[in-house]
Each structure stands twice: as C-alpha cells, then as structure tokens.
Amino acid sequence: MRINMPVTQQENDSLREDELVCSKTNPKGIITYANAALCRISGFAEKELLGTPHNIMRHPDMPRMAYAWMWDTLNRGLLWQAMVKNRCKNGNHYWVDANVSRQYSRDGCIIGYLSTRRKPTHAQIAEAERLYASLRQAEGELEARGKMSAEVVMGLYQNSPLYQAR
C-alpha cells in the first residue's frame, strides 16, 4: 500500500457540479489519460500523471479494503461505484463520487479501465467519512491482532520442545 505524505486535512472544494473528473489506465493501473479537471483539482501536471501508477493520488485515509473491493469488483467485470478521498499534490484532498469500469477492445479484450468522477454532496462526504473511519479502525484492530497472535505463537513455539530440540 502506497502511503503518500504529507496530508493537511484541508479540503479542496473547488470541483463544480457540472465537472467530470476523468482518467484512464492500462490493465495494470498505469495512467494513460487524465483530463483537465483532474489535473486542476489534484495539482498534478498531465505529464506527472501519464505513465504513473494511479496510487500516486491515494490518500492515506482511504481504507485498504476500499481498493481491494474495487479490484475485486473490476475483476468480476462489474462497475465499481464508491466515494473516494484523493490526495492533492500539496497534501490537501478532494472527495469524488467515482465510477470505475473496464474498457474493452472491439474483439473483447480488456484494454484498461476508465474512471469518471463527480462532485459528491456534503451528506455523501459525511457518510463516507464515518464509514471509512470505522473501516480504518477495523483494519487497525485486525492488523494489531495479527501482530499479537504472531508474537504469541512465536513465544509458545520458542517455549515448546519443538524449538528447544533444534
């Protein structure tokens, strides 16, 4: 998981309701197209985005599970629709209501992915903040439990005849 820092927790709310923020990637998630609205809101120049993995704009507040769910949905050939908090180049952020889908060639091969994003409502943002905070907490607890159980297992193992016999 890429962790882009720093973050300011300052929202860039300059997206207009009639604006569509678009990008395309190749099948590996490398950006092949970014529209002017994406460059403006993110603060990245087009040339900084093209050829770069899409996690360049990942905000650390996005739960890991959100992107696991995204790729799982896309791999099943379905459209992924979800709220995304993205990091701007300067550490600020913006929220979008994102739709990501596969793109196919005429002969049915997957040639990449397309994301179109709209400005969400304040209510959508508030709900996503709440949901993602609880997902992050759950992820933190699972990770802590994973570490704790590894330590416990190691302790038990080292005290056992299995270890002492080595």
Ligand X SMILES: Cc1cc2nc3c(=O)[nH]c(=O)nc-3n(C[C@H](O)[C@H](O)[C@H](O)COP(=O)(O)O)c2cc1C
Nearer to ligand X, 18 or 113 (CB): 113
- Half-sphere exposure of 13 toward its Cβ, with a 13 Å CA cutoff? 6
* Distance in Å, CB of 83 to ligand X, minimum: 11
Query: How many CB atoms are located within 10 Å of the residue 137 CB?
Result: 11
Binding residues vs ligand X (CB under 6 A)? 1-2, 23, 25, 29, 54-55, 57-58, 67, 84, 86, 100, 113-115
Which pairing describes strands 93-104 and 21-25: parallel, antiparallel, or unpaired? unpaired
- Between 2 and 130, name the residue whose CB sits nearer to ligand X: 2
CB of 45 to ligand X, least distance (A): 16
Task: Name the residue nearer to ligand X (CB basis): 92 or 156.
Answer: 92
CB of 49 to ligand X, least distance (A): 10
Q: What beta strand segments (E) does 1-153 contain?
A: 21-25, 31-34, 80-87, 93-104, 110-118
**Least Å from the CB of residue 90 to ligand X:** 16
